[in-house]
Structure 1
Amino acid sequence: MKQTLLLVPVLFIFSLPAQSQNFDADINILFGIPQSDFRESLDRNALGLNGSIAFRIPRLPVHAGLELGIMTYGRDRRLEPISTNIPEVLLEVRTDYDIFTGHLFLRLEPEIHGIRPYLDGLVGIKYLFTESSIRDDDGFGEDIASTTNYDDSSFSYGAGGGIKVEVYDGGRDSYMVNLKARYLFGSEASYLQPGSITRDRGGNLIFDESRSGTNLLTIHLGMTYKF
């Protein structure tokens, strides 16, 4: 699932006509820092990837775009035998605790040669989900099987800003280092935390749910391709 979410902006970029102009596409390392009651409930930060595509409205210093991100705020691992009859063969059971963010945004970005400061307004969703998978115990390769154990979503909106510094100008296209931050307000949602999945004597799963607002400060560092 996470791989599919990350492919969306990439596929969109390659679907554009070759002669397209006035587009920005970026990919970033993403840091998520819970705020307010989200921080009180979930006392840990998140790490992941983020990407966006934006179109500059002709004759205006304004961009409209779509931004997607995925970050992990925890992971549980354990080894289990493939069956009670084959205890020598072990599989890794891995549970990831993730937040997907998807936002539409409007960006005010004046064109200053070589340096581009900007301000963003965003609206969208946060999707919090816990996914378990099994794989070979060496930890490499594709998942053998996976399932989403728990999920919930919240309405999300906020504002942010950043700065782009040009490092290459090819005339029709250019590359920029991009540093940005957002404060994203979020409605209440339920979610799991690392260690919150247990089993009773009958082997049934027990979920120790947490619930709070989902305010989140995000910091992004990456590259922008302007074409």
Structure 2
Amino acid sequence: MSKLLERYLNFGFLRGLCVALLLPAFSMAQFPEDEVLGEGKFVEGTLAFAAGFPVEEFAESIDNDFGIGLNFNVLYNPNRANDFFQFGIDFNYLHFEQGKVRIGDDRLKATNSAFLLHALGRLRVQTDKIVKPYADFFIGAKIMATRTKIDQDFFSTVLGAEEIILDNESRAAFSYGIGGGLTFDLRKVRLDIRISYLPGGKMEYIDPKSITDDGNGNFTFDYLELGSTAMILSQIGFGFEF
């Protein structure tokens, strides 16, 4: 699936997606002089299911085509009269299962997780319709954490055997991006759908295929250097107001 997304990306599809979503909505939105569209709330939050799809060099370096997790963001509205501009923070956790490597009698399991933390700015179409498009702008960091441990069998897990963790590593990279989404007003809450493109800077992470045993019970591994940590992030969840 990442290969398909990458092909679209190369043709500028995803880079132009937000523009394609928002320009028609902005051009069609009406702002009658005598009509008040409603006051904007000071603070809004969203909790969503998230799926991340590595693209470009990142897709070629990681075993899994996608990771799943959660998104949470909080936005502050500086203008009570409307909610055209908001700013806040956006946090994502994604879990990538990278597979297993057998070394002698041991089977090693390497798990890759991504933590995405961004400052968020949002521009929202002002309309009294149920559906409101918006554009998001991100700047922050991606943190990739790799945990390597000896994989336990089912019975060891059930019996609560202590996990043997060989290594915990984390690396951070600069991150930024754009996104586009739609909110659907459902009285008490809002359904929120968003897709974002998040390029990223260079990063090192453990190559699970390079893990070896030196014969004395010590495990060694190599690092892979990524020239890019770009990914597509899709989300669906519910928004609420404070």
What TM-score do the two structures reach when normalised by structure 1?
0.72
State the distance in 2 between where 1:208 and 1:192 align. 6
Match of 1:176 in 2: 190
Asked if structure 1 preserves the Cα contact closer than 8 Å seen for 2:190 and 2:240, the reply is yes
Say if 2:91 is the partner of 1:68. yes
CA deviation after TM superposition for structure 1 residue 40, in Å: 1.9
CA deviation after TM superposition for structure 1 residue 165, in Å: 0.6
Superposition pairs of residues 89-108 of structure 1, within 5 angstroms = 95-108=110-123
SS at match of 1:187: coil
Match of 1:35 in 2: 55
Superposition pairs of residues 41-190 of structure 1, within 5 angstroms = 41-44=61-64, 45-58=66-79, 59=81, 61-76=84-99, 95-113=110-128, 114-132=130-148, 137-138=156-157, 149-167=168-186, 169=187, 174-190=188-204
State the distance in 2 between where 1:55 and 1:226 align. 10
- Select which of 218, 222, 227 maps to 2:237: 222
Q: Which structure would you say has the larger Rg? A: 2
Residue type of the partner of 1:131?
Answer: R
Q: Which has the higher strand share?
A: 1
Change (3 A) 1:140 1:221: farther
Asked if structure 2 preserves the Cα contact closer than 8 Å seen for 1:97 and 1:194, the reply is no
Change (3 A) 1:120 1:95: same
State the distance in 1 between where 2:169 and 2:48 align. 27
What TM-score do the two structures reach when normalised by structure 2?
0.68
Q: Which has the higher helix share?
A: 2
Change (3 A) 1:97 1:43: closer
RMSD: 2.9
State the distance in 1 between where 2:232 and 2:225 align. 18
Change (3 A) 1:147 1:176: farther
State the distance in 2 between where 1:139 and 1:178 align. 38
- In the alignment, structure 2 segments of 5+ residues that lack a partner are 1-40, 102-106
State the distance in 1 between where 2:43 and 2:91 align. 16
CA deviation after TM superposition for structure 1 residue 76, in Å: 4.8
Aligned pair count reads 190
Asked if structure 2 preserves the Cα contact closer than 8 Å seen for 1:97 and 1:192, the reply is no
Residue type of the partner of 2:119?
Answer: L
Query: Can you list the C-alpha shifts for 1:42-82, whole angstroms capped at 9, x where unaligned?
Result: 2421111111001112145101010111111115579xxxx
Asked if structure 1 preserves the Cα contact closer than 8 Å seen for 2:63 and 2:98, the reply is no
SS at match of 1:138: helix
Asked if structure 2 preserves the Cα contact closer than 8 Å seen for 1:76 and 1:195, the reply is no
Asked if structure 2 preserves the Cα contact closer than 8 Å seen for 1:103 and 1:123, the reply is yes
CA deviation after TM superposition for structure 1 residue 131, in Å: 2.5
Match of 2:205 in 1: 191
Change (3 A) 1:23 1:145: farther
Asked if structure 1 preserves the Cα contact closer than 8 Å seen for 2:123 and 2:135, the reply is yes
SS at match of 1:214: coil
CA deviation after TM superposition for structure 1 residue 133, in Å: 6.3
Residue type of the partner of 1:47?
Answer: I
CA deviation after TM superposition for structure 1 residue 103, in Å: 0.2
CA deviation after TM superposition for structure 1 residue 183, in Å: 0.6
